[in-house]
Amino acid sequence: MAAVFDYTIQSDTWDVRFDEGRNHRAKIGFVLIPNEQTIEDDMVKHAPQGVGMYFSRALMPKEISTESLAQLGSSLAETAGRILPDDKLDVISFACTSGTVAVGEEKSEAELNKGASGAKATTLMGAVRKALNAVGASRLAVGTPYADELNTNVATYILNAGFELANFQGMNLNYDNEMIRVAPEYLVEFAQAIDRPDADAILISCGALRTIDVVEDIERLVGKPVICSNQAMLWDCLRLANVNDPLENLGRLFREN
* Same domain as 205, residue 114: no
- pLDDT at residue 6, as a whole number: 64
Count of domains observed in the chain: 2
Its sign, for the CA torsion 229, 177, 34, 61, is positive
- Domain-located, residue 171: yes
Sheet with 91-94, strands from edge to edge, namely 51-57, 26-32, 91-94, 120-123
Q: Which among 212, 216, 140, 132 has a CA at the least distance from the CA of 180?
A: 212
Summarised one tens digit per residue, pLDDT across range 49-81 is 999 999 999 876 566 666 667 678 788 999 999
CATH number at 104 reads: 3.40.50.12500
Cα gap 66→106, rounded to integer Å: 17
* Same domain as 141, residue 120: no
Summarised one tens digit per residue, pLDDT across range 130-175 is 999 999 999 999 999 999 988 999 999 999 999 999 999 999 998 8
**Which residues make Cβ contacts (< 8 Å) with residue 129, sequence separation at least 6?**
161
* Same domain as 162, residue 114: no
Residue 28 has a CB neighbour count (10 Å cut-off) of 29
- pLDDT at residue 235, as a whole number: 98
Cα gap 182→208, rounded to integer Å: 9
CATH number at 170 reads: 3.40.50.1860
* Same domain as 238, residue 119: yes
Query: Which of 12-21, 40-49, 182-191, 210-219 shows the lowest mean pLDDT across its residues?
Result: 12-21
- Domain-located, residue 20: no
* Same domain as 199, residue 156: yes
Check pLDDT > 60 for residue 18. Answer: yes
Confidence tier at 97 by pLDDT (50, 70, 90): confident
Beta partners for residue 31, in sequence order? 56, 94
* Same domain as 111, residue 56: yes
The one-letter amino acid at 139: R
- pLDDT at residue 99, as a whole number: 85
* Same domain as 131, residue 119: no
Domain that holds residue 188: 127-228
* Same domain as 142, residue 100: no
DSSP category for residue 100: H
Summarised one tens digit per residue, pLDDT across range 190-206 is 999 999 999 999 999 99
Cα gap 42→62, rounded to integer Å: 22
* Same domain as 246, residue 183: no
Check pLDDT > 60 for residue 1. Answer: no
- Domain-located, residue 91: yes
